[in-house]
């Protein structure tokens, strides 16, 4: 979702801003713009469409001189994608230029008030009120103006603000929307995330809500809303720039699919020491675990699908009731959650607005929050009592793969850790699970070797209008993810169904030639799924079986994808791989924009 970059230093700002915005393209956007301070005034350029359109318009930035500026990629929320609605937005006098990520919830009231005072609006955006508010409140001191503006606006914001009265500094502030500050050598940056500025610096400040940053070429100062200077610790980014580049792959998605063995290893290895699971960052004692009444899992999209896997596994292994809920539903359903409950929030970005709100709702009810997050220092991580980082490295493709897989690995670690503390595993069972968790990276690697066969299957089926995924239990949980992946990037309609539920309605959609992908890895329910396959076959379906138990499935399915066997609880990590690959190759055959599917954003920071 919207991306922000800001720069001040000795170099021409516009090319640096365009380059930084290119690194944020993965977040999803529909228009882009920059504003640069030049000789006492603010110059700007904005365009609907791809960043390249903007870049062409200003000749890669060459046309815009000046060494301080702000840039933005917009993902439309208020008002259609257009040149006018693109950011930056300028105040009427042109003194202020503003870029904004987030939503101003009271913008209608503010707009009305400003219009009554004679301010004229040119766009349909909520952001424009901020530019005019700056003009309204400004009395010669930019920090005072920031404080007044943020006192008036409700909602979420990361703001970068240029003021033509300040030739050698600009300001930024955030609340509930991501923004970091990059500290360079005589050049400073703001950005929505590290990838945008990593080639310039690894020294970062993570901002708290409503900390106001003043950036000058030779340094950065941070103030609170009482205008007192705040001391902050500099964080070092440890991952490499290569991790945020394609490195020879045609798409980030394939690179990230292939990175899964390494990513899972990075997640798991440091947390298994001498055959024991060690969760340093989790402060739950054995007593706390014994006293958990219920576990709620809140998340969105693929992270929610990890939560569905977690429900099956934790309930089976720990005998604690688990309710997995979509964060956007949980936050508004007046949940029956309290201090005896553990709430697990799962999020790659750590910034998803609904997950953050659900977590806060649970916190208000006194629950303890454990989060599984990829991005360090993100809002969800900060708002949690305990955090287990997935350490998957930056995920750039909009459709998640390695974040999903590392979240699954954390779920296995938590379930096994808790089941052990609850005395529900024999030492042999514990050892087998821990060994298998450690073997997962190699096993995922071996499944990835089947790429060519999956590519062949995709070339046969990429013209389908509708594809069904079925499975039971954990296979159903993975079916949800396989179906979402396919829909997101190939735009083919798809449904995931619990195999036993098909005959209660959806089977009416099966006709001659409909592709059904049947997942059957659980031994207990294998025969039941094979029966469901027979039912769809009898109605003309073409079936692709994904299974460890080949023989019976081979008799009924048209195509078989074989998986190696591992402890059944861990099978989702293997089952999902062919589904990711299938979606990728189907989308590739259809010529889709795989890394940036239409209408989707990587980090969903609005409701
Ligand atoms: C799907 C996908 C999304 C995210 C969802 C939650 O491929 O990536 O469904 O899983 O938007 O995002 P995070 O994990 O950042 O909270």
Nearest atom, ligand 1, residue 299 CA: 16
DSSP helix/strand/coil, 25:
helix
Which tens digit of pLDDT belongs to each residue from 494-539? 999 999 998 898 888 999 999 999 999 988 999 999 999 999 999 9
Structural domain total, the chain:
3
pLDDT at position 246 = 77
Which tens digit of pLDDT belongs to each residue from 130-178? 999 999 999 999 999 999 999 999 988 999 999 999 999 999 999 978 8
Mutate to test the pocket of ligand 1, among 27, 303, 309 (most ligand atoms within 8 A of CB): 303
- For the sheet with 493-498, list strands across it: 493-498, 466-471, 515-520, 542-547, 559-562
**Looking at the structure, do residues 277 and 388 belong to the same domain, yes or no?**
yes
Residue 67 lies in a domain: yes
Residue 600 lies in a domain: no
- Proportion of the chain above pLDDT 70, given as a percent: 99
Gap between the Cα atoms of 88 and 70, Å rounded = 8
Rounded average pLDDT over 540-550: 92
Catalytic residue among 46, 175, 311, 602: 602
Which tens digit of pLDDT belongs to each residue from 16-61? 999 999 999 877 788 999 999 999 999 999 999 999 999 999 999 9
Q: How confident is the model at residue 273 (pLDDT cuts 50, 70, 90)?
A: very high
Q: Is a pLDDT exceeding 80 seen at residue 10?
A: yes
Place of tokens 């947390």: 271
- For the sheet with 294-299, list strands across it: 322-326, 294-299, 341-347, 368-373, 386-389
Closest residue by Cα to atom 9, ligand 1, is: 301
**Looking at the structure, do residues 215 and 268 belong to the same domain, yes or no?**
no
pLDDT at position 549 = 74
Q: Is a pLDDT exceeding 70 seen at residue 565?
A: yes
Closest residue by Cα to atom 16, ligand 1, is: 347
CATH of the domain at 517: 3.40.50.10490
Residue 46 lies in a domain: yes
Which tens digit of pLDDT belongs to each residue from 573-602? 999 999 999 999 999 999 999 998 988 877
**Looking at the structure, do residues 345 and 257 belong to the same domain, yes or no?**
yes
Compute, in angstroms, the gap from residue 327 CA to the centroid of ligand 1: 12
Instruction: Check if 605 has its Cβ closer than 6 Å to any atom of ligand 1.
Output: no
**Looking at the structure, do residues 454 and 442 belong to the same domain, yes or no?**
no
Instruction: Provide the 10 A C-beta neighbour count for residue 333.
Output: 13
Q: Is a pLDDT exceeding 80 seen at residue 606?
A: no
Compute, in angstroms, the gap from residue 399 CA to the centroid of ligand 1: 7
Is 602 known to be catalytic? Answer: yes
Q: Is a pLDDT exceeding 80 seen at residue 242?
A: no
pLDDT at position 237 = 87
Residue 52 lies in a domain: yes
Instruction: Check if 182 has its Cβ closer than 6 Å to any atom of ligand 1.
Output: no
**Looking at the structure, do residues 32 and 101 belong to the same domain, yes or no?**
yes
Which tens digit of pLDDT belongs to each residue from 408-449? 999 999 999 999 999 999 999 999 999 999 999 999 999 999
Residue 602 lies in a domain: no
Q: Which of 401, 428, 448 is the last residue of a domain?
A: 448
374 touches 390 (CB < 8 A): yes
DSSP state string for 374-409: SSTT-HHHHTSSEEEE-------SSS-SHHHHHHHH
pTM (2 decimals)?
A: 0.79
Instruction: Check if 399 has its Cβ closer than 6 Å to any atom of ligand 1.
Output: yes
Mutate to test the pocket of ligand 1, among 75, 178, 192, 301 (most ligand atoms within 8 A of CB): 301
**Looking at the structure, do residues 111 and 226 belong to the same domain, yes or no?**
yes
CATH of the domain at 156: 3.60.20.10
Gap between the Cα atoms of 494 and 469, Å rounded = 8
User: 147 lies in which domain range?
Assistant: 3-238
Q: How confident is the model at residue 400 (pLDDT cuts 50, 70, 90)?
A: very high
**Looking at the structure, do residues 146 and 260 belong to the same domain, yes or no?**
no
Instruction: Check if 379 has its Cβ closer than 6 Å to any atom of ligand 1.
Output: no
Compute, in angstroms, the gap from residue 43 CA to the centroid of ligand 1: 36
Give the residue, 193 or 214, on which the prediction is more confident: 214
Instruction: Check if 348 has its Cβ closer than 6 Å to any atom of ligand 1.
Output: yes
**Looking at the structure, do residues 426 and 490 belong to the same domain, yes or no?**
no
**Looking at the structure, do residues 320 and 371 belong to the same domain, yes or no?**
yes
Gap between the Cα atoms of 607 and 328, Å rounded = 8
Residue 606 lies in a domain: no
């Amino acid at each position: 979702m919207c991306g922000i970059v800001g720069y001040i230093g000795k170099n021409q700002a516009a090319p640096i801003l365009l380059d930084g915005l290119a690194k944020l393209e993965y977040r999803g956007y529909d228009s882009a713009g920059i504003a640069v301070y030049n000789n006492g005034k603010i110059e700007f350029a904005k365009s609907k469409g791809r960043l390249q359109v903007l870049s062409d318009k200003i000749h890669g930035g060459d046309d815009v001189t000046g060494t301080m500026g702000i840039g933005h990629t917009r993902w439309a929320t208020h008002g259609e994608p257009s040149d006018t609605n693109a950011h930056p937005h300028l105040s009427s006098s042109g003194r202020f230029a503003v870029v904004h990520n987030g939503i101003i919830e009271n913008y209608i009231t503010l707009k009305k008030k400003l219009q009554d005072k004679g301010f004229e609006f040119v766009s349909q955006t909520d952001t424009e009120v901020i530019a005019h508010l700056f003009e309204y409140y400004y009395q010669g001191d930019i920090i005072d103006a920031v404080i007044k503006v943020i006192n008036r606006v409700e909602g979420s914001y990361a703001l970068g603000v240029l003021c033509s009265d300040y030739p050698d500094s600009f300001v930024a502030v955030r609340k509930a929307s991501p923004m970091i500050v990059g500290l360079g050598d005589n050049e400073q940056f703001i950005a929505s995330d590290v990838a945008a500025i990593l080639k310039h610096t690894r020294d970062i400040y993570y901002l708290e809500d409503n900390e106001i940053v003043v950036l000058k070429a030779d340094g950065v100062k941070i103030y609170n809303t009482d205008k007192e200077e705040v001391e902050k610790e500099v964080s070092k980014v440890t991952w490499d720039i290569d991790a945020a580049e394609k490195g020879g792959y045609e798409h980030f998605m394939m690179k990230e699919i292939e990175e899964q063995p390494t990513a899972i290893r990075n997640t798991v290895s440091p947390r298994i020491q001498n055959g024991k699971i060690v969760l340093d960052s989790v402060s739950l004692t054995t007593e706390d675990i014994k006293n958990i009444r219920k576990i709620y899992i809140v998340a969105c999209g693929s992270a929610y699908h990890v939560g569905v896997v977690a429900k099956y596994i934790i309930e089976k292994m720990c005998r604690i009731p688990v309710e997995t809920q979509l964060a956007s539903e949980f936050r508004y359903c007046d949940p029956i959650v309290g201090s005896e409950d553990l709430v697990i929030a799962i999020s790659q970005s750590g910034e998803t607005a609904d997950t953050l709100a659900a977590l806060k709702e649970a916190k208000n009810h006194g629950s303890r929050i454990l989060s599984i997050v990829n991005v360090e220092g993100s809002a969800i991580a900060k708002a949690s009592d305990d955090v287990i980082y997935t350490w998957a490295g930056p995920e750039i493709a909009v459709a998640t793969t390695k974040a999903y897989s590392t979240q699954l690995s954390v779920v296995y670690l938590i379930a096994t850790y808790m089941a052990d503390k609850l005395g529900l595993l024999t030492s042999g069972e514990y050892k087998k699970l821990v060994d298998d968790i450690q073997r997962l990276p190699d096993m995922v690697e071996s499944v990835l070797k089947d790429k060519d066969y999956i590519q062949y299957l995709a070339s046969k089926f990429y013209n389908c209008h509708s594809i069904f995924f079925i499975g039971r239990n954990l296979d159903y949980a993975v079916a949800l993810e396989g179906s979402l992946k396919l829909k997101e990037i190939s735009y083919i309609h798809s449904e995931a169904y619990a195999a036993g539920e098909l005959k209660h309605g959806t089977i009416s959609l099966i006709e001659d030639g409909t592709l059904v992908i049947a997942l059957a890895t659980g031994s207990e329910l294998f025969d039941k799924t094979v029966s469901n396959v027979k039912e769809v076959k009898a109605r003309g379906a073409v079936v692709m079986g994904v299974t460890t138990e080949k023989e019976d499935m081979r008799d009924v399915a048209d195509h078989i994808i074989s998986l190696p066997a591992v402890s059944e609880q861990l099978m989702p990590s293997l089952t999902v791989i062919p589904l990711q690959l299938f979606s990728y190759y189907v989308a590739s055959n259809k010529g889709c924009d795989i890394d940036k599917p239409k209408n989707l954003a990587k980090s969903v920071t609005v409701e």
